[in-house]
Amino acid sequence: MAASPLRVVFAGTPGFAVPCFEACRAAGADVVAAYTQPDRPAGRGRKLAASPVKEAALAAGVPVEQPGSFKAEADRARLAAYAPDLMVVVAYGLILPRKVLAIPRLGCWNVHASLLPRWRGAAPIQRAILAGDTESGVDLMQMEAGLDTGPVLIERRTPIAGDDTGGSLHDRLATLGADALAEGLRRVLAGETLAARVQAAEGVEYAHKLDKAEARLDFSQPAIALERKVRAFDPWPVAEGDVAGEHLRVWAAVAIEGKPGAIPGTVLAATRQGIDIACGTGALRLTAVQRAGGRRIGAADYLNARPELKQASA
Per-residue model confidence (pLDDT) at position 45: 82
- Which residues share a beta bridge with 137? 157
The annotated binding site is made up of 114-117
Residues 188 and 277 in one domain: no
Residue 68 CB coordination number (10 Å): 10
Quick: pLDDT tens for 263-301.
999 999 999 999 999 999 999 999 999 999 999 999 999
Q: What is the pLDDT of residue 309?
A: 86
**42: pLDDT confidence band, cut at 50, 70 and 90?**
confident
Q: How far is CA 64 from CA 13, 32, 226, in A?
A: 11, 9, 41
Are residues 184 and 237 part of one domain?
no
- Domain co-membership, 144 together with 218: no
Examine the domain organization and report whether 94 and 201 are in the same domain.
yes
Determine the Cα–Cα distance for residues 113 and 90; give it in Å rounded to an integer.
9
Alpha-carbon distance values, 234 to 18, 169, 211 (Å): 20, 10, 14
1 in any annotated domain: no
Q: What is the total count of domains within the chain?
A: 2
Q: In the structure, what pLDDT confidence band is assigned to residue 314 with cuts at 50, 70 and 90?
A: very low
The answer on 248 and 143 residing in a single domain is no
107 shares its domain with 11: yes
Query: Within the chain, what is the greatest distance between any pair of CA atoms?
Result: 81
Q: Please indicate, yes or no, whether residues 179 and 258 belong to a single structural domain of this protein.
A: no
Average pLDDT estimate for 165-191: 98
pLDDT digits (tens, 9 = 90+) for 304-313: 999 888 766 6
Q: Considering the chain, what percentage of its residues have pLDDT values greater than 70?
A: 97
Neighbours of 142 (CB within 10 A): 18
Q: Which of 207, 239, 257 delimits the end of a domain? A: 207
CA-closest candidate to residue 229, choices 247, 204, 254: 254
Tell me if 202 is assigned to some domain. yes
242 and 169 belong to one structural domain: no
CATH (domain of 158)? 3.40.50.170
Question: The domain that contains 300 carries what CATH number?
Answer: 3.10.25.10
Q: How far apart are CA 124 and CA 115, in angstroms?
A: 9
Residues 6+ apart with CB under 8 A from 44: none
2 part of a folded domain: no
Query: Is 218 found in the same domain as 163?
Result: no
Q: Which residues are annotated as a binding site for (6S)-5,6,7,8-tetrahydrofolate?
A: 114-117
pLDDT at 2 over 60: no
- Both 190 and 245 in one domain: the answer is no
Co-location of 44 and 112 in the same domain: yes
Instruction: Name the domain boundary from 177, 192, 207.
Output: 207
pLDDT at 241: 97
Residue 50, domain extent: 7-207
Peptide bond before residue 117 is cis, with ω within 30 degrees of 0: yes
Of 207, 223, 258, the residue at which a domain comes to its end is 207
Q: Quick one: 55 and 195 in the same domain?
A: yes
- Identify whether 50 is part of a domain: yes
* DSSP-assigned letters across all residues of 45-97: TTEEE--HHHHHHHHHT--EE--S-S-SHHHHHHHHHT--SEEEEES-SSPPP
35 part of a folded domain: yes
* Phi, psi of 175, deg, nearest 5: -70, -45
Q: Is residue 58 in some structural domain?
A: yes
- Residue 127's Cβ-side half-sphere holds a number of Cα atoms within 13 Å equal to 19
How confident is the model over 228-271, as pLDDT tens digits?
999 999 999 999 999 999 999 999 999 999 999 999 999 999 99
